[in-house]
Chains A and B, each alone.
Chain A
Amino acid sequence: GIQVEQSPPDLILQEGANSTLRCNFSDSVNNLQWFHQNPWGQLINLFYIPSGTKQNGRLSATTVATERYSLLYISSSQTTDSGVYFCAVGRVGGSQGNLIFGKGTKLSVKP
C-alpha cells in the first residue's frame, strides 16, 4: 500500500522561529490534508492540498504531486502551535474516506 513519511519526527522551536515540515508519499494521490492534533485529540483541518500552494495566516503549504511530497511552513511560531502535525493522503482508486496518515511531527514551541 501507499507509504507516508513525515519528517522530522520531533521539532523544538523558540517562539518566533520559522519551521518547515515535510511529507513524502509513495503513490499518486487524490487527497492530501494537513492536520494539527490538539492535546485533547481533536484533528484540526489546516489544509486540503492535493496539489498547488495555499496560505492561511502564518501557515502555508505546498504540494508537488509529480514529485510526491508536500511541505507545511509555519512562520513566527507561537506556543499555541505546539502539538502533533499529521499529513494524510488518499490513494487514487481508493475509498474516498480512506486517508493514510503519516506518523506525525511533534512540535514544541518554547516561550
Chain B
Amino acid sequence: ETGVTQSPTHLIKTRGQQVTLRCSSQSGHNTVSWYQQALGQGPQFIFQYYREEENGRGNFPPRFSGLQFPNYSSELNVNALELDDSALYLCASSGWGDNYEQYFGPGTRLTVT
C-alpha cells in the first residue's frame, strides 16, 4: 500500500510569484484535503476535493485554488504569493463514507522572500 506523497519537499519563491504543489493520495483513497501549517501552530484546513470538485473550503482567499485529477492526485496553486504564505503545506487523503480517518503526506515547506 502506497502512502500519501508530496512534491516538492522544499520550495523558495519571491513575493508576487505563483506556486504549484502536488500530492498523490494513498492507494484506495478518493478524497484529498490540503492544510497550511504556520510555524508553531496546528494545521489549518484550506479545502477538500472529491470527484474532481471542491467539496468544502476553509477561511482562505480565492488566490488559493486547487485541482483533483481522475487518478485522485491533486494540486494546490497559490497566486500572488505573500510573505505570510511561508508555511508547511500538508496534503491528506481518505476514503469516502463512514470512516473519516485522514492520512497525511510529508509536506512541502514553502518559503516566500
Contact = CB atoms under 8 A, between A and B. Distances in A.
B48 A48 contact: no
Interface residues of B, number: 29
Contacts, number: 76
Interface string A76-111: 000000000010101000111111111110000000
A86 B42 contact: yes
A90 B31 CA distance: 15
Contact of A31 (B48, B96, B100): B100
Nearest to B95: A96
- Chain A interface size range: 20 to 34
Interface stretch (B15-23, B76-84, B103-111): B103-111
Interface of A: 30-31, 33, 35, 40-43, 45, 48, 50, 86, 88, 90, 94-104
Interface of B: 31-33, 35, 37, 41-45, 48, 50, 55-56, 58, 88, 90, 92, 94, 96, 99-104, 106-107, 109
